[in-house]
Structure 1
């Protein structure tokens, strides 16, 4: 996949050393990490960025660093990632995002995730893409719905990487098939 990738307002690109500090700040922010198991230290955040970059080298796609076209400022990540756990719907590829709090409510997650879906279905020939979160994460669920993803409560699951009884253990699963994506993105 040739980078950078541009949308109307954003650039999806490879990670840079300069992204690590703002990424670490995001991962320390309790608002950003509200529906994740815990906030990350700088070292843990740097390790996560390293794993993201390694996954991109391995699969050709991944969680791209995102910046605004206007300022060039790093705002977070959006992209595709192969699930690294076993569940009734794996193996699969997930579309995911994490943006700094001050960039919420601008439509950036939806804009970049739409591009990621397009790349997954057209450049990588995926048949389906999923997304998941905890039931209370209404903001992310709304993004999933704006992307045309659908939720069937029968697909909900307990995340296997969280201990039984953890308050974030239960997850909702959203899906989008290539056929449904093509129907909703066909030229009119």
Structure 2
């Protein structure tokens, strides 16, 4: 079994899922505001099944969509992390970065802070050449996070096969970030003497 990676930031811990995460995760997945850009809400059974799937992927490979806690403040605010889309999407094979947070934690920089930690894992520990992110074309909030973490949109789009054809959420934009671009954006490390 691979060693488990649990990124730590100034305010956040990205970690393996715990039983206590399932109730607030179900609240998140059933919240029409949080799920505005998803084609459907998830009931408790489907939400729990998704949490189990995410937990299982971290157990298998050591990384994934981690549960996020605000250290000393909130034990669970949502998830952020890296994922190989399964079933695949039209841009597969790829590793995506994604996030979903409870609305009461929006606007505090948590998604951006956690996403930067996930990028660090992807490029420095997993040695990925590229990380992608995608969302419904009309989801401007997520696109702003993608831009803040240095991802770039070059006009690439696809119709998401899991979204009904008639849905305004079917068309997705793709943002990409290559390792070399990410490396040049990082502050220079102090030389040790």
Q: Normalising by the residue count of structure 2, what TM-score does the alignment of the two structures yield?
A: 0.92
- Maintained 8 Å contact 2:12/2:69: yes
Unaligned runs of 5+ in 2: none
Q: 1:181 to 1:43 in 2, by over 3 A?
A: same
In 2, Cα distance between equivalents of 1:139 and 1:27:
17
2:105 paired residue among 98, 103, 106: 103
Which residue of structure 1 lines up, in the alignment, with residue 168 of structure 2?
167
TM-aligned CA deviation for residue 54 of structure 1: 1.6
In 2, Cα distance between equivalents of 1:86 and 1:57:
21
Q: 1:47 to 1:86 in 2, by over 3 A?
A: closer
In 2, Cα distance between equivalents of 1:62 and 1:108:
17
Q: 1:66 to 1:175 in 2, by over 3 A?
A: same
Write out aligned runs for 1:139-150 (5 A). 139-150=141-152
Which residue of structure 2 lines up, in the alignment, with residue 27 of structure 1?
29
Q: 1:86 to 1:77 in 2, by over 3 A?
A: closer
Unaligned runs of 5+ in 1: none
- Maintained 8 Å contact 1:22/1:74: yes
Which residue of structure 1 lines up, in the alignment, with residue 188 of structure 2?
187
Number of aligned residues: 187
Which residue of structure 2 lines up, in the alignment, with residue 53 of structure 1?
55
Q: Residue deviations 1:7-63, cap 9 Å, x none?
A: 011111111000000010011110100000111100010000011112222332100
Which residue of structure 1 lines up, in the alignment, with residue 82 of structure 2?
80
- Say what the alpha-carbon RMSD is for the aligned residues: 1.4
In 1, Cα distance between equivalents of 2:29 and 2:4:
27
In 2, Cα distance between equivalents of 1:163 and 1:28:
19
Q: Residue deviations 1:128-177, cap 9 Å, x none?
A: 00001011111110000001000011x20101122322221100000000
TM-aligned CA deviation for residue 5 of structure 1: 2.4
Tell me which stretches of 4 or more aligned residues in structure 1 moved more than 4 Å: none
TM-aligned CA deviation for residue 123 of structure 1: 0.6
1:130 paired residue among 129, 132, 140: 132
Which residue of structure 2 lines up, in the alignment, with residue 93 of structure 1?
95
In 1, Cα distance between equivalents of 2:134 and 2:159:
11
Which residue of structure 2 lines up, in the alignment, with residue 178 of structure 1?
179
